[in-house]
Amino acid sequence: MAKENAQPVRVPQLLFGLVLLGVGVALLLSRLDIVDVSFWDILGTWWPLLIIAAGLAALGTVPRAWPGPVAVIAVGVFLQLARLDLFELDLSTLIWPVILIALGLALIVRVGRTPSDSADTIQQTVFWWGAARKSRSQQFRSATLTAVMGGIEVDLREADIQGRADISIFTFWGGVEIKVPPTWRVTVRGLPLLGGWDDKTLEPADPNAPELVVHVTTIMAGAEVRN
């Protein structure tokens, strides 16, 4: 049988718990007439903090896949400054410049990295497109995958691990699929925000099987690991 999803790490879960707790306390105090505060006024002014919190939580969960979380944090900061009337922000005029910047950064990240089937590390960033990577390395060590409104497929079925390997995934409005051999022990942990992951791998019979640890942050997106 496929394994059940691992529980998210505690720090991001604690962060969002504190945010919800604070909103709930403010609303309760307002309803009890203890403080004169409008919940909707607070929400209308400070909602970008939720985006910033999501980016910070993602950065703490998958620090190696930093371009995606940093972009989320930057968007949250700009929106918050605009809500505080610190400067004028017309989103319609920023859409294309932001898209061009993101595409440029994604291309720069790819410069000098020639995909190789024998690579023991994989680094892949996609924005509005898809990518497929494969490794046959017998000493596979790590992968860093960032998918924003795109998809990434990684085939490791012909690869092997010496001890342990780690994969960091950040996906926003996208998806990531990883295929692994049935001889690997897979552990998935991370932070699902309006998304999730699916671990469809089988538990190997060998107690000393090599381990693949997958760190995931999904924001309105999904990730899957299977044999």
**DSSP sequence for 206-226:** -TT--EEEEEEEEES-EEEEE
Average pLDDT of 148-175? 92
- DSSP string covering 83-152, please? HTTSS---HHHHHHHHHHHHHHHHHHHHTT----TT-SEEEEEEESSEEEEE---TT--EEEEEEESSEE
- pLDDT single digits (tens) 197-217: 899 999 998 888 999 999 998
pLDDT at 37: 64
pTM flag (> 0.75): no
pLDDT at 8 over 50: no
- pLDDT single digits (tens) 44-97: 777 788 778 778 877 777 777 777 788 788 878 887 887 777 766 666 566 667
Number of domains within the chain? 1
Distance of CA 74 to the CA centre of its chain: 15
Q: Are 3 and 186 in contact (CB under 8 A)?
A: yes
pLDDT at 6: 45
What three-state secondary structure class fits 227?
A: coil
CA distance 188 to 214: 5
Residues in a beta bridge with 124 = 145
Report the run of H or E that residue 178 belongs to, with start and end: strand 175-179
- Which residues form the domain of 20? 1-227
- pLDDT single digits (tens) 86-137: 766 666 566 667 667 766 766 666 555 556 677 889 988 887 788 899 999 9
Predicted confidence band of residue 1 (pLDDT cuts 50, 70, 90): very low
CA distance 165 to 163: 7
